[in-house]
Amino acid sequence: MGEVVRFKRPTAAQRTQGNTLCRRGFHKWVINKDSRFDSRQGRLVTEYRCSRCGAVRTSAH
């Protein structure tokens, strides 16, 4: 048998699930392990990525 295809549209609550916190500034920051440490102007830099929306933030230590 073939693959089952969903024809039902997702509701508004399902489409925005997890994004409402990020829109209000409450991201879920996780260290990006692909480019974990970098050097900028002689400082150690860590890159953070939001696990919900994918936004990127860098922090110098």
Q: What is the pLDDT of residues 5-22, one digit of tens each?
A: 878 888 887 777 767 788
Kindly indicate the confidence band of residue 52, based on its pLDDT and cuts at 50, 70 and 90. Answer: confident
In a domain, 16, yes or no: no
In a domain, 18, yes or no: no
Domain that holds residue 60: 27-61
Widest distance between CA atoms in the chain: 60
Higher-confidence position of 54 and 43: 54
User: What pTM did the predictor assign?
Assistant: 0.60
Q: How many domains does the chain have?
A: 1
Counting residues of the chain whose pLDDT is more than 70, the rounded percentage is 85
Burial of residue 14, with CB atoms counted within 10 A of its CB: 0-12 exposed, 13-18 middle, 19 or more buried: exposed
Task: Give the C-alpha separation, 3 to 1, whole Å.
Answer: 7
In a domain, 8, yes or no: no
Backbone region of residue 35 per phi and psi (left: phi > 0; alpha: psi in -120 to 50; beta: other values) = beta
In a domain, 11, yes or no: no
